[in-house]
Amino acid sequence: MNVTVTVNGKAHTRDVEPRTLLVHFLREDLGLTGTHVGCDTSQCGACTVHLNGDAVKSCTVLAVQADGMEVTTIEGLGTAADLHPLQAGFWEKHGLQCGFCTPGMIMSAAELLRHDPDPSEATIRHHLEGNYCRCTGYHNIVLAVQHAAAAMREREAGQAADD
């Protein structure tokens, strides 16, 4: 089946088997290996991407369901030269160790901050309960998200003042 998905701003058309999951489409067809697979029961969140702006577990979405839609993966969030505040926050606060859960964690946190620019610790913990990290114990992940939220609020405020 032919699907056309816009990933990180670029449209890709591919012929896929109907059962192809979005995560495999991204990793295998497009070579975007930043999105990871950590489980087969939609629990770990390592595969989290944004689909038309919402965070989804790409292991529970078929590639054909994403036909005509916009996907953002970790590769599209920010680059090494221009990090997204969450990427910078995870780096600053040591919110990662092996880094395997990190792309999914960041994509999930990005959704939270879009809806709640100043989340409490409890809100962050609650929001991230679908993303497993086996390395960090979450302590620094919470700090990373708080750090990023503050940076983003500051940026917003700066922009508002500029306008």
Question: Could you list the residues that contact other proteins (CB under 8 A)?
Answer: 17, 19, 27, 31-41, 43-44, 46, 73-75, 77-80, 83, 87, 90-92, 94, 96-103, 106, 121, 124-126, 128-142
Residue 71 neighbours by CB under 8 Å, 6+ apart: 5, 6, 7, 8, 22, 26, 49, 50, 51, 58
Residues 31-50 that bind ligand FES (CB under 6 A): 37-39, 42-47
Question: Are 121 and 146 contacting, i.e. CB atoms less than 8 angstroms apart?
Answer: yes
Q: Give the H or E element holding residue 64.
A: none
Of 1 and 39, which has the nearer Cβ to ligand FES? 39
Q: Which of 27, 50, 57, 127 binds ligand FES (CB under 6 A)?
A: 57
Q: How far is the CB of 93 from ligand FES (least distance, A)?
A: 13
Q: Strand ranges (DSSP E) for 46-97?
A: 48-51, 54-57, 70-72
* Positive/negative CA dihedral, 117, 121, 126, 130: positive
Q: Give the H or E element holding residue 5.
A: strand 2-7
Could you say whether residue 96 binds ligand FES (CB under 6 A)? yes
Of 42 and 153, which has the nearer Cβ to ligand FES? 42
Question: What are the residues binding ligand FES (CB under 6 A)?
Answer: 37-39, 42-47, 57, 59, 96-102, 133-136
